[in-house]
Structure formats: C-alpha cells, structure tokens
Chains A and B, each alone.
Chain A
Amino acid sequence: NAGVTQTPKFRILKIGQSMTLQCTQDMNHNYMYWYRQDPGMGLKLIYYSVGAGITDKGEVPNGYNVSRSTTEDFPLRLELAAPSQTSVYFCASSYQTGVANYGYTFGSGTRLTVV
C-alpha cells in the first residue's frame, strides 16, 4: 500500500518563484489536509478538503492555494515564494463518516527552503 505520497521530498526555491507540492493518496480517504512544520514546532493546518471540489482555509493559509479535483489528489500551490514559507510540509488524509474518524495517514513530508 502506497498510502499518502508526497513529491518532491526536497526543494529549494528562489524568492518570488512558484511551485506545486503534489499529494496523492490511494486509500479512498475523503478528507485531506496540508500542514506545515516550522523548526522545533508542531504542525499547523494550511488548508483542508472534505471531498472532491470542496476546500477551505486552515490556520495559516496566506500565500498558498489548493484544489481538489479528484478524491486522490490534493496539490498545494505556492505563489511568489517568500523566506517565511521555508518549512517542512506534510500532506495527510483520513476517512470520516458522520462522527466516526478512522485515523490519519501522513505523507513523508517535503522540506522546502526559500532563498
């Protein structure tokens, strides 16, 4: 089982460049999330999606955009990269029906450096 796959694993961007972080899951999970982890800190939610075509902002959405055209894919777009976006990015997915949640699966993370 592949689980949640993130690409790339590492990336260096110059200030003002744009890029897309890819995330794919093969577990038919309805919920997907993007978190960022700054050095020595916990994860903070950037965006989330409860199903194809439905996305919403988390705690720290500024500078990012997402889309969810399929159940499997949830790419994160950085426009005009800034040094403050230097972080490790995690994609995650979970299956939820009603009030029951069946746990999270995390990707292995993308380390992004903006110089």
Chain B
Amino acid sequence: AQTVTQSQPEMSVQEAETVTLSCTYDTSESDYYLFWYKQPPSRQMILVIRQEAYKQQNATENRFSVNFQKAAKSFSLKISDSQLGDAAMYFCAYRSYANAGGTSYGKLTFGQGTILTVHP
C-alpha cells in the first residue's frame, strides 16, 4: 500500500515571499500521479498542481511549482510571491497510474496536511 507523509504540520510565510511545503511518499509502483490540493476554510478541495511520474520535467502553474525527485520519492510544492489568499491547508496526494489488478480504482491517498499561514 502507498503512504504519503507531510512532515510539516504548520508553515508560515510573509506576503510576497517564497515558501516550500514538503511531501514524501512510499510506493513500489513506477507509474503514478502526484497532486497538491489546497483546502481553504470553505472546505472546498482545490487542485493546485499535478505531476505524472513518467515526466521528468517539474510541473508549474503560475506561482506554484513542484520539485519532483522520483528516486528520493519526494514531491515538494514551492509557492512564489505568496499572497494572503494562499493561506489554507495543503494536502499532498498520490494516485496509481493504472487499475493494477483492480486494487487502486483511481483512489487518492492523502498526506496529513500542512497548514500554511501568510502574514501581511
């Protein structure tokens, strides 16, 4: 079974600065997806960024980028030019690439989350 670990329960950053959130995972699979989700106080789960394991290039979405280290099983999220609206709980998540033997069915395995506070 896959596991996802976020070792930083809380992080804080000054507005306009850069912050990096850490995520490690454990899997025996070679193909998979990794995600970062943002959950603001509204509870809505918002997809921030997605990475396919077979792609060597790190994904980027505007101010959000990842550092994907497949061998180290590490998937960190960098938020540049932090804004007050970035304050939220952030979850790292893993999904198997294929329905391998019918055991994954596209389910997401989540880390425990990191609460990000942005100071003005």
Chain A interfacial positions (CB closer than 8 Å to B): 31, 33, 35, 40-45, 48, 50, 56, 58, 88, 90, 92, 94, 96, 98-99, 101, 103-104, 106, 108-109, 111
Contact = CB atoms under 8 A, between A and B. Distances in A.
B113 A41 contact: yes
Given A31-B105, A101-B33, A103-B50, A42 B111 contact: yes
Contacts of B107: 33, 45, 48, 58
A41 B112 contact: yes
A72 B6 CA distance: 34
Given A42-B112, A88-B43, A99-B97, 5 more contacts: A35-B108, A42-B110, A45-B108, A48-B105, A101-B33
A109 B111 CA distance: 18
B85 to A, nearest CB: 18
B95 interface: yes
Interface residues of B, number: 23
Contacts of A99: 97-99
Contact of B45 (A45, A50, A98, A106): A106
A42 B44 contact: no
**What is the interface of chain B mostly: helix, strand, loop, or mixed?**
loop
A43 B91 contact: yes
B35 to A, nearest CB: 8
A31 B95 CA distance: 14
13 contacts: A40-B9, A42-B4, A42-B93, A42-B111, A43-B91, A48-B105, A50-B105, A94-B106, A96-B106, A99-B99, A101-B33, A104-B45, A104-B47
Contacts of A58: 107
A101 B112 contact: no
Contacts of A88: 43
Nearest to B1: A59
Interface string B1-41: 00010000100000000000000000000000100000000
Contacts of B43: 88, 108-109, 111
Nearest to A98: B98
Given A42-B91, A43-B91, A101 B45 contact: no
Contacts of B97: 99
A109 B46 CA distance: 12
